[in-house]
Structures are given as C-alpha cells and as structure tokens.
Amino acid sequence: MALVERYRDCTEYSDEVLRQFVEKVIVHETVKDEDGERSREIEVYLNFIGKFDVPVQPVELSPEEQKRQEALKKRRIHQRNKRAQERQERMSAQLKNESPNLNQKLNRQKRRCPVFHRAASSFVLSGKECL
C-alpha cells in the first residue's frame, strides 16, 4: 500500500513506475469479425490486484466522425478487394505461364465432368496439377 500512496497524486507515470504496478501483459492473436475488422484482446495483470478490466463505455461519435469512419471502412474494404483481385490475377498469370497444357486438360475435364472441375480448381490454384 505504501507504493500506491507514493504515486497516488502523480500526474505522469514513467516506465519505472508502471513496471512496479504491472505484473504481466498478455497479447492475444488478432481476429477478424464478419465485417473484416481486426481486433486483439489484451489482458493486463496488476500487482496486488490481478487481472484489470478496463471499463468499457460506449463512444458516441459526432455525425462528422461517423461519416469519416464509414468512409474509412469503405476504403479499407475496397483496398482489400483490390488486393485480392490483384493476387488472383497474379496467380492466374503464373499458372498460364507455368503450364499452358494444364488449361487444355482442365477444359477437357470440364466438358466431361463439371463437378470435378470445381473440385480440381482448388488444386490448380495452389499450383499442383491434379489431373
């Protein structure tokens, strides 16, 4: 308790002071929700207290800030989709350059069995010839 009393009226906390209060910090893996937003859980354990949960209060955004957040979200989604499309185009170009006969084999197989073609496409995209 003497430690708490010593820093009770402190306005700035140095690294040394924080090290005296923090026992450990656990940082979990990043997870994505269905909207594509990434989040990461961080647990803070304080000496003499244990796990410290920060009280969560809902944040009310101004209309301007809401518009800005929506624009950022749309831009992130657009960039993510653009990167995925570029990645797909690179993979397709690489496949065409590596094995031109593979497309002929796939077309023949597609005519014979369309269901097999859909299943085989995952192997083709990974660069393996499955026929």
- Phi-psi label, residue 55: left if phi above 0, alpha if psi -120 to 50, beta otherwise: beta
CB atoms within 10 A of CB 124: 20
Phi, psi of 113 (to 5 degrees): -150, 95
pLDDT tens for the chain, 131 residues: list them.
676 677 677 777 778 777 888 888 899 999 988 877 888 888 989 887 888 887 777 778 899 999 998 999 899 899 989 999 998 888 888 777 766 566 666 666 655 554 444 444 444 444 444 44
Orientation angle between helical segments 63-98 and 100-112, nearest 10 degrees: 100
Asked whether the beta carbons of 80 and 36 are under 8 A apart, the reply is: yes
| pLDDT (0 to 100) of residue 72 | 92
Q: State residue 79's pLDDT score.
A: 93
CA–CA separation, 117 and 96 (whole Å) = 17
Task: Determine the 3-state secondary structure of 29 from DSSP.
Answer: strand
C-alpha to C-alpha distance for 92 and 86, rounded to whole angstroms: 10
Question: Residue 111's pLDDT is what?
Answer: 59
Number of neighbouring beta carbons within 10 Å of residue 106: 19
